[in-house]
Structure 1
Amino acid sequence: MPAGRTLAVVGANGAGKSTLLDLIGGTLTPDRGTIRVGARELSRGGGRPRVVPAEERRIGTLTQDALLFPHLSAVENIAFGPRARGIPARAARAEAADWLERVGLPGTDQRRPRELSGGQQQRVALARALATRPGLLLLDEPLAALDVATAPQIRLLLADEIRRTGVTAVVVTHDLLDAIVLADEVAVLAAGRIVESGPTLHVVERPRTPFAAALAGVNLLTDPATGDLLRIRPADLALHAEPGPGRWAARVLATEAAASGVRVRLIMDDGAHLAADVPAAAGAGYRPGGRVHLSVRGMDA
């Protein structure tokens, strides 16, 4: 990935996302292969292993837990990175105070983490990560623990600061908005392998794998007549009690509230997961385990 760009890594639980970040960050060593940031080799597995210690990698990390030093004030938490770079204490604190201004927390210099809200702590954690002037920033679901009012603010702050500083970033997320707002490119992981990748909007608009389709809020189906891959919105799937031409068999997994009524979660006989939206009045008729048949509206005439 070119310098100065952001890659979103997505995939189901157990796909290998956290393992990837641990390998890049230096808490895991690869059995084979090489990890490089720019021209710098950080890890090499195989017969001649090489590992650069995590603290020497110039990699910043931001997780869903701010992980601030509880005994240090906000300004001292941020100054920790500059001081580790050899900057004198007074200059490091001045730089940290500038960062507090940038992330919208003026006047909080002397507050300890326990005196800050979750969103404020995450702002301090972002400033601390960027104050180290990392060559690479790793973001491990940094918004997952924030409430719905705070997360959009921190998401936009993250996007602004990543672009302003020009840092290269890798973000692991389950949220489509994170990928759209933060990332230039998306990579979909499955069983430790990249199964789909490309520019963010291309992957979102034309997903080729079930997980990417679910992330984008569409279903993937194969047209039985042509073999073409169909990308179908949940609202465009019709559910039927009986089989018929052009219909696929499926089993109900669960139901949940949706903007248009009720979303029915389905699993097909081949294991593919789908979603169909039905009116609220019809939602009670779909119980987990029940068999249904589905078609695409406009193709089932």
Structure 2
Amino acid sequence: MQSIKSVAVGPLNARMTFHSDFCEKHTYTRGNKDVVKPVRMMILNGKVVCPRCELEADEKKLQRDLESQIEFSQRTKNFNTLEKRSMFRDRTVSRATFDNYDVSEPEETKNKNRMMDLIKHLQQGEVFNIFLQGLPGVGKSHLGYAALKALNVPPDPDNPKDMGKSCLFINMEEAASAIKDSFSNKESKYTEPYVTQLMGDADYLVIDDLGAETGSEHSDSRASDFIHRLIYKVTSARQDKATIYTTNLTSKKLYQMYDSKLVSRIMQKQQYIVFKETSDKREMELPF
């Protein structure tokens, strides 16, 4: 049936046909009393209706539709975290999936299958951390982001209680650089509290390239107090959440760079995926 609004935009002579009856549901206030204000009924598509009731019904429907859109937008906020809030050193990582993780060596196949199996356990509600360890260029970041893609499922539009899960990929060197920039750039939103809360709140987090943020991967120096504080705050907030770490460093080197208590916290509830024999994929891609 046409709405009152759609009829109202038509030619005047086709706009309405009045009926002899009146609707007495509508009132206005005079002094302290509600006074009935009769509204003349009209015939719309062969049906006698109150134009004001029809308009109010249309407005309520529009309001419900708007509220539904806002509510679903809030529920998809978690789903959009991965794309809108992640911090990359190399943006091409954002295209990584399990499907485009090419395997040519036995260790690659084993590690890809292990990661996919671990993700199934996370999807079932288990909570543990995953530690991807090995030389640069073997695909650790790729597998880490692919894991988030698999975990990043939008909420069920028919279930208003389903808020979805938030996934986040943070390259530690990029995060540390952004925070340090905020010290002098007051316009930057990437303050230490903002970044640590962002990382702490995510349901699933990849901390990419742990150790590179210190700038001391190939030296004997230790991480700064700033880096220790940053990682400590994040790990404190994630005691009951799954975190995936990627690093080029050995466990011995991690203990050398960071406080032993911090490393022990990072290593809690870990499932390891170690690359020892996989070739550097980036070298293989060179045209010479």
Q: Whose helix proportion is higher, 1 or 2?
A: 2
**TM-score computed with the length of structure 1 as normaliser:** 0.33
Structure exhibiting the larger radius of gyration computed from Cα positions: 2
Q: Whose strand proportion is higher, 1 or 2?
A: 1
**TM-score computed with the length of structure 2 as normaliser:** 0.34
Q: Which has the higher contact order (CA 8 A, sep 6+)?
A: 2
